[in-house]
Structure 1
C-alpha cells in the first residue's frame, strides 16, 4: 500500500499560493499558476530544481532539517505550518523562543463561552494568565493564592505547600491520584515546555530556582519523565458548599501552547447541584482578567 506523500502535498500547495511579488521576485512571462514555479522556489531556498521536483513527487522523502528550514523560509510559512512541514519530514519542529504569556482574543472568547464552569488559562510554564468568575467561585480568587510569579508549579512546591499540605489555592484541592502522581504530572509537563523553549532565560532561571529550593521538585525533575498533563479528578474542600468532586481537563488552545484548564461535574449529581449554587451566587458578568 502506497504511503501518502504528505510532505510533497504540503510543499506544492504552499508553493502555489505564494506569489513571486511576495517573495521579492519579478514575475517572468505568462504563468499557469498564480504561485511560485519550482525553479523559483528552488532558487529562493538554495536547492536544485530536480530536488524540489523529487520532494513534491515523493521520490525524495528524507530532507534534512536545513532543507526544511530553507523551504519554510522561502515559502514564508507561519510557525504552525513550519512545524507541520517538519513533522511531514519526520523531524522534530525547531525549538521556539520564549514561553508566550499572551492570550489571543479567540481564547478570551472561548473562556467566556465556558462561563458556567470553573476555567483558567495557563501559559506553557504553568503561569496563570487568566480565569473566569466561576474559577474564583469554586477555588478562590487567584490573586490570594500567593504563588511566586503566579506560577502553579511554584505554588505546588513552595515550602509546606502541595496537596495534603498547605492549600494550593484559596482552599484545599486534592487529587484523587494522590500527591505524588499530581506533582509528577506537573513536573513532566514542565519538562516538555523546557525542552521546547531552551532559550527562554526566565524559564531556565525558574527551573534552576525550583531545583535549588525544593527537594521534592528536584527529585521528580531528575527522573526524566516528560509528558503533557491532560487531566485529573479533584476534590475541592469548598467552605460554602462542602466537598466538590470534579473532573479536571487540560486542553491546548489550537495554534498556541496555552493550557486551558476547566472543571466539570457529571449532570444530575450532587456536585453538579453544588456548581449550580455557585453559579447563582457568583458576580455577573463573567470576566477574564
Structure 2
C-alpha cells in the first residue's frame, strides 16, 4: 500500500471539499474552505484518531468498509472512488448504484439556454432534473420519470422518426449500467419489468447493441401543439454516469414557434 500517496489523496480531497458540499453548515472562523479532520471522521463513522493516522500515513490497511465510508464522506466521484481503493491496495468494488444527485453546475445548465427543454438522466434513464419547458414538452416527469419505461411500457409518446434509434440506444445504455451497478435493486427491478413487459425490449436486449449518445432528430406528437420536429443533443457527465439532454428546434420553423409559445406559457 502506498501509504504516503493515500494520505496525500485523503488530505487533498478533505481540504478541497467545502462544508456545504458535504451537507455541513459552513460556520464562522474557518481557516481553510475545506473540511476539518474531525468532520470527515464523523461523516465516515470512525474515530478521529484513526482518520488522523490515515492522513499521516501511519494507519493500518483500511478495510473495504472503511474505504466505502471515506468515499461517501468525501463525496468522491466514481473515478476517485476507484483510485482510493487502488491506493489502499484493495480491489475496487462496483458502486452500489448509479449516482442520482445532480451537481450544482449541471443543474445550472437547465436554465441558461432560453427556449431549450433540458433534462438530466441517471444511468438507468431516471430523469433526475429538468426545466419547466421539458416537463411541458414531455408531460409529468415527477410521477413518470423513467424514459426507458415510457418508451417500452407506457407507449404514450407517439414518435414517427427516431423511435427505433432510441430503443437501441436505451438498451445499450441499460446493459452498460447493469454491468457497472450489479447490486442496484432499483435498476434490477426496472430491467425485470422491461424484459417481462416488452417483447421489443427483450429482442433488442438479446442483440447486445453497441450505440453511443449523440445528435438525434425525432418527430413527436404533442397533445396541444401537434407534430413537432425535435433535435436531441447529449452532454455526458462522466464522473456521475449521467447525461444532459438538450431538446431544441431548428430556427424559424413551426416547431421553433411552438416551443417559444410553450416556453412563454410555462414562464
> What is the TM-score when the length of structure 1 is the normalising length?
0.60
Aligned partner of 2:232 in structure 1 is 248
Q: 1:27 to 1:232 in 2, by over 3 A?
A: closer
In 2, distance between residues paired with 1:132 and 1:20?
38
**Secondary structure of the equivalent of 1:142?**
coil
In 1, distance between residues paired with 2:96 and 2:51?
34
**Secondary structure of the equivalent of 2:266?**
coil
Higher helix share: 2
Aligned partner of 1:45 in structure 2 is 61
Aligned partner of 1:153 in structure 2 is 148
How many residue pairs get aligned? The number is 230
**Secondary structure of the equivalent of 2:228?**
strand
Q: 1:97 to 1:110 in 2, by over 3 A?
A: same
Match of 1:210 among 194, 209, 225: 194
**Secondary structure of the equivalent of 1:120?**
strand
Match of 1:24 among 49, 54, 59: 49
1:29-58 per-residue CA deviation (whole Å, 9 max, x = no partner) reads xxxxxx645xx3xx5338xxxxxxxxxxxx
Aligned partner of 2:213 in structure 1 is 229
Q: List alignment gaps of at least 5 residues for structure 2.
A: 15-35, 42-47
Q: CA RMSD in A?
A: 4.2
CA shift at 1:261, angstroms?
1.8
Aligned partner of 1:184 in structure 2 is 168
Q: Which has the larger radius of gyration?
A: 1
CA shift at 1:128, angstroms?
2.7
Q: List alignment gaps of at least 5 residues for structure 1.
A: 1-6, 29-34, 47-65, 162-166, 285-289
In 1, distance between residues paired with 2:120 and 2:177?
16
CA shift at 1:78, angstroms?
4.6
In 2, distance between residues paired with 1:96 and 1:122?
18
Contact 1:14–1:75, Cα closer than 8 Å, also in 2: no
Contact 1:115–1:134, Cα closer than 8 Å, also in 2: no
> What is the TM-score when the length of structure 2 is the normalising length?
0.65
Aligned partner of 2:161 in structure 1 is 175
Contact 1:185–1:227, Cα closer than 8 Å, also in 2: yes
